[in-house]
Copies of this chain bind each other. A is one copy, B any other.
């Protein structure tokens, strides 16, 4: 494994035109590769608008199989540019059975592995429980030529358990493709609290586990026929093994964000902060309960 890996996060806006979105992603992947990136991560559901603002059976037409058209298209790009790619797809697994799935493409164009989003949100404007069956393959890192990637998706980022299990399974890096934004009607104070919380909890996963973390979010205002609107807040970032910022994007601009990751630093950080040594696994079984007071 290389000591230092240059990574790139593609923070982009999307339209209703799938081909246009994909062409834009590919252009940016190529740009990132030319700038030295060996790992490129795309945002959640990067080939479409964030279609979960309302519940509409017709939107299931956006689903695709894995392997399928996207892994083929982006597989060619990965192979041509020699980069490992993390995609985020609307997976059609069977008739009427869909997942929100990350696909990791090796730098030879092959499919290294997938992760099916485990935690599914459902809130006004984020009706994901209608579209996405919860993942059933658990929290398993994907082995690649660059290391073991702990790929999780969006809502998973609020759950320390997900990051922890990935780390215990040897993840050397946490990666979160995301689609999160503000309700334009919220107050400035509430918007600030939400953005800070989103950044803070992800940095905490890097800290708790002593591994770097990448979060990639979309930008742009997307309006739905239902009247719902989300202003995606960007702020894609890379954090090091102590949770420190390595790079951070702004909230409204399309960006190719770069960072240099040294995966060997985990050993050094875990020597001074040996959190894994002192875990009280004799008392942690309680974590696997819904609630314990009543």
Give chain A's interface residues, CB within 8 Å of chain B: 118-121, 123, 134, 138-139, 155, 158-162, 164-165, 168-170, 193-194, 196-197, 200-201, 203-205, 207-208, 242-244, 272-276, 278-281, 283-294
Contact = CB atoms under 8 A, between A and B. Distances in A.
A284 B284 CA distance: 10
Given A201-B204, A207-B201, A287 B284 contact: yes
A165 B287 contact: yes
Nearest to A119: B278
Given A275-B158, A280-B119, A287 B197 contact: no
Given A160-B164, A204-B201, A289 B283 contact: no
Contacts of A207: 158, 197, 200-201
Given A123-B272, A165-B286, A200-B207, 13 more contacts: A119-B280, A160-B204, A160-B208, A165-B283, A168-B287, A168-B293, A169-B292, A200-B204, A200-B243, A201-B207, A276-B290, A281-B290, A284-B287
Contacts of A287: 161, 164-165, 168, 284, 287-288
Nearest to A163: B160
A158 B273 contact: yes
Contacts of A273: 158
Nearest to A170: B293
B279 A159 contact: yes
Contacts of A161: 160, 164, 279-280, 284, 287
Given A165-B283, A200-B204, A243-B200, A155 B278 contact: yes
A243 B196 contact: yes
A286 B147 CA distance: 22
A168 B118 contact: no
A287 B158 CA distance: 16
A157 B291 CA distance: 21
B160 A286 contact: no
Given A158-B273, A287-B288, A293 B201 contact: no
A247 to B, nearest CB: 15
A272 B194 CA distance: 11
Nearest to A128: B278
A288 B288 contact: yes
A134 to B, nearest CB: 7
Contacts of A139: 283, 286
